[in-house]
Chain A
Amino acid sequence: MAERFRLTVNGAESELEASPDTPLLYVLRNDLGLKGTRFGCGNGQCGACFVLIDGHPAPACDTPLWATAGKRITTVEGLSKGHELHPLQHAFLAEQAAQCGYCTSGILISAAGLLAKNPRPTEGEVREALDRNLCRCGSHNRMMRAVLRAASEIAP
């Protein structure tokens, strides 16, 4: 049942052999070693596994490998350029915008997807963009501030 797949993740192409129904999440984490994308619920309801697929935030747990053919996938690891963090990541550090940090990757991805489309979002637009991501520790307001801070630094 395993087939050969060619995948474009964070700008790099890789080839692997897997069943076409394999959720993208496990390919990213276990085949490509990109552990920043995390399992939360398995059906796209919490956002912990969000990645950008052609620029749109989508749950990797609910995306079968076959559906990623020809698409550009960006994971949290792909937000930074080498060792230089994405402005969102700098802003999250500056605002200390996390407690446990398990939901953080998915939230960074949703925020990056938003800022790519809308570089100067309003607070309401940020809330709307992050509404599919769950955070259990209650770091929401810090993350909101961090996204707005990053936006003002990217597009002052």
Chain B
Amino acid sequence: MNTVAENRFKRAGSLERNPKLAQWLRVHRDGTVSIFSGKVEIGQGISTALAQIAAEELGITLDRIRMVAADTAASPDEGVTSGSLSIQDSGVALRRACAHARALLLESAAARLGVSVRDLQVADGAIRAAGRSTSFWECADDALFDCEVDETTGLRSPRDYRVVGKPAARRDLPDKIAGRPRFIQDMTLPGMLYGRMVRPPHDFAELISLDDSKLRSMPGLAAIVRDGGFVGVLAEREDVAISAQRALRLTASWREVNPLPRDVHGWLREHAAEHRVISEKENADAKSRATRVLQASYTKPYISHASIGPSCAIAQIDDGKLMVWSHSQGIFNLRRDLALALGMREDTIVVRHAEGAGCYGHNGADDAALDAALLARAAGGRPVQVQWMRDDEFAWAPCGPAMALSLRAALDAHGDIVDWEHELWSNGHSSRPGRADNPALLAAWHLARPHERPSAINMPLPAGAADRNAIPIYDFPNQRVVNHYVREMPVRTSALRSLGAYANVFAIESFMDELAQAAGIDPIAFRQRHLKDPRGRAVIDAAARRAEWSRWKSAEGRGHGIGFAKYKNLGAYCAAVAEVEVDHEVRVNRLVLAVDVGLVINPDGVINQIEGGAIQSTSWTLKEQVKLDARGIASLGWEDYPILKFSEVPVVEVELIDRPELPAVGAGEAAQGPTAAAIANAVAHGLGLRMRDLPLTHERIAAAISQST
């Protein structure tokens, strides 16, 4: 006989961890509803999409929804806002919670009016029956929601949606476009001091010496804070804090760490600590039909988050309690690591989310929070705002890991792939806070009593991390996929938008084109003959149609190419067609993307995310690599780390395939891999040469051309 525990169904999305209805919403007498989500706005528009879901299920207009900033003292713990999961985690939970809340409000209204629920006429929270009226707002009572979310409550049918599925204007943009204070960088609290960090622009083993004698008398300097190798300054004025930081840095000397490997990709291949076969299929018959074998190796460099606004945090210690404002993606995880690093109890710390500049993964936000907290210990109860300088951000925020990949495949006489091998070498793709015994926060490693640095890890499949999208979505009779995990980290790495999927999809989809060419088959037809998944086939067809693939007119130095993936093999389908011109450098003229995210919550939000992802991936693919020298990261400013400029941005067209009957999945990371592959394939088509090392810079193109002639 099953026990009750075994019988218990798994709750939808984040309801699993946060089952109480009152955790998700509160109805107010003034005709508004507060929505509490643990997912945070990082420039992706999630707060608008979640508001749409809540408004839809409550049956009220969007302007009645108030999204409450996530706060460890008030919000459901939804882990980290990452992995394109906010719609699946928070959206699904809110949909159920709001449906239940509406049912409870209607029951309460029916009792109040002395009628049955089915006699109620409800419009935007106003309720009428038998000539009398009431409203959600009159029925609002906190006790009503003091229960667990009842997931058996009926949900509104997608056919009847009035808010979900319609374009909604982003709720945060009016402030941002008017230039009103909105970002954490803009917050000013009474008595606030400005802090800056004194760090070298490269990793270090130890602070050897520091001479602050000349600075102590600097007017407006409030404190110089030192704890082992952790050094920061506090000042009444921000510009004074910056001057003090610069002056103090000139007096410091640090012992350097071991020199970095010169050839990172070769080094990765030689330093794997674990070798895991993550997929294996065997069919001896098919294998025996092999007539040709191809192999190729690909690389991806370290990539920087390179947000336009450097990381920032505010901290205040008052009466033994720490209050932190942070643009972290995971405020609860950050609180846990702050407690570890500071030797405090978690219940003495509150972390509240405040919007920051664009976030594309695990950047310096959490680190800045510990910096601010450590400086706040010397601020006598005053709040402290720390913003990193540009070189702090480039030097110290984790990078998206470098990766090396080797692929090998066999074709039969008909041009079918009968065998497939994919091996990858990479550091872990997550060193986020809240997951290890030691704090994953930069300053903690430099204190007089330092904490050990946790290594970046990979999350398990099917989502995976370094091996995200390494298992091909195509149907091959034989396949073997191996993830070689490298624990030792020459450069601090963590999650960057799409994690390993960017490099894995770039490699798989490049190699598919190489095989198609060897088989003498059109790249799109070649993919379709190896792909059963109908949704995958549909996005490839849609992108090809929109781009008029079959009507391509070839010309000297022009090429087109396709790339395709189903993000994580679990989420959004995305096919990209790139059209490029190549001479000594690559110019992407046009990108056409077709996307299937299931039910579309906010069409303009999805399009905006796909456009942005495609443009960012174009930038990564054509231009971006973190430069290294023996001491560490050598890309410390925009001059060393160019990104795509207005004059280089391609036309981007997005076609959405709406599937209202299917679950909604996230869109934020779907375009990264397919765009890279489409560009690389278009370059190979236009140039007649295959480029396998990212980024596709003019130096690389010139080298490839000179080698081929």
Contacts and interface: CB of A to CB of B under 8 A. Distances in A.
Interface in A5-64: 19, 22-23, 26, 29-30, 33-43, 45-46, 48
Interface in A118-154: 126-128, 130-131, 133-142, 144
Contact of B177 (A26, A40, A46, A89): A89
B616 A138 contact: yes
A39 B309 contact: yes
A99 B183 contact: no
A101 B616 contact: no
Contacts of A96: 169-170, 173, 604, 608
B611 to A, nearest CB: 6
A101 B178 CA distance: 10
A108 B178 CA distance: 10
Contact of B309 (A38, A43, A97): A38
A22 to B, nearest CB: 5
Nearest to B312: A39
Interface stretch (B106-114, B528-536, B627-635, B642-650): B642-650
Contact of A136 (B182, B308, B651): B308
B492 to A, nearest CB: 20
B44 interface: yes
Contacts of B178: 36, 76-77, 80, 85, 89
Contacts of A130: 646
A38 B183 contact: yes
Interface string B319-334: 0000000000000000
Given A26-B239, A77-B179, A93-B173, A100 B185 contact: no
B43 interface: yes
Nearest to B182: A101
B88 interface: no
Secondary structure class of chain B's binding surface, majority of residues: loop
Contacts of B242: 42
B643 A134 contact: yes
A102 B357 contact: yes
B177 A101 contact: yes
B179 A76 contact: yes
Contacts of B359: 100
Interface in B632-686: 637-639, 643-647, 649, 651-652
A43 B42 CA distance: 25
B646 A131 contact: yes
Contact of B646 (A75, A76, A133): A133
Interface in B345-384: 356-360
A40 B237 contact: no
B612 to A, nearest CB: 3
Interface string A64-98: 00000000000111011000010001001100111
Given A102-B358, A131-B647, A45 B639 contact: yes
B637 A142 contact: no
A57 to B, nearest CB: 13
B8 interface: no
Contacts of B173: 92-93, 96, 98, 101
Contacts of B428: none
B181 interface: yes
B186 A99 contact: no
Interface string B420-461: 000000000000000000000000000000000000000000
A115 interface: no
B306 A136 contact: yes
A127 B647 contact: yes
Contacts of B238: 26, 29-30
B307 interface: yes
A22 B647 CA distance: 33
A102 B389 contact: no
A145 to B, nearest CB: 11
B140 interface: no
A39 B306 contact: no
A127 B646 contact: yes
Given A80-B178, A100-B42, A137-B612, A41 B647 contact: no
Interface string B495-511: 00000000000000000
Given A48-B309, A142-B611, A100 B646 contact: no
B309 A92 contact: no
Contacts of B45: 99
B510 to A, nearest CB: 22
Interface string B602-616: 001000110111111
B239 A23 contact: yes
Contacts of A138: 611-616, 619, 649
Nearest to B306: A136
Nearest to A19: B239
A40 B639 CA distance: 14
B84 interface: no
B43 A41 contact: no
A103 B310 CA distance: 12
Interface in B143-195: 169-170, 172-174, 176-183, 185-186, 188
B179 A108 contact: yes
Nearest to A93: B177
A144 B177 contact: no
A99 B182 contact: no
B638 A42 contact: no
Given A30-B238, A77-B179, A108-B177, A41 B637 contact: yes
B390 interface: yes
A73 B272 CA distance: 57
Nearest to B616: A138
Given A85-B177, A130-B646, A138-B619, 19 more contacts: A23-B239, A36-B178, A39-B185, A41-B390, A41-B637, A89-B178, A92-B173, A93-B174, A97-B177, A99-B45, A99-B609, A102-B356, A108-B179, A127-B646, A136-B307, A136-B643, A137-B612, A138-B611, A140-B649
Per CB-CB distance, the 3 closest pairs between chain A and chain B, nearest first, are A36-B179, A100-B43, A101-B176
29 contacts: A35-B180, A36-B178, A36-B180, A38-B185, A40-B308, A41-B390, A41-B638, A43-B637, A48-B308, A75-B179, A76-B179, A89-B178, A99-B44, A100-B357, A100-B359, A101-B173, A101-B182, A102-B43, A104-B177, A108-B177, A108-B179, A126-B646, A133-B646, A134-B643, A136-B360, A137-B43, A138-B613, A138-B614, A139-B608
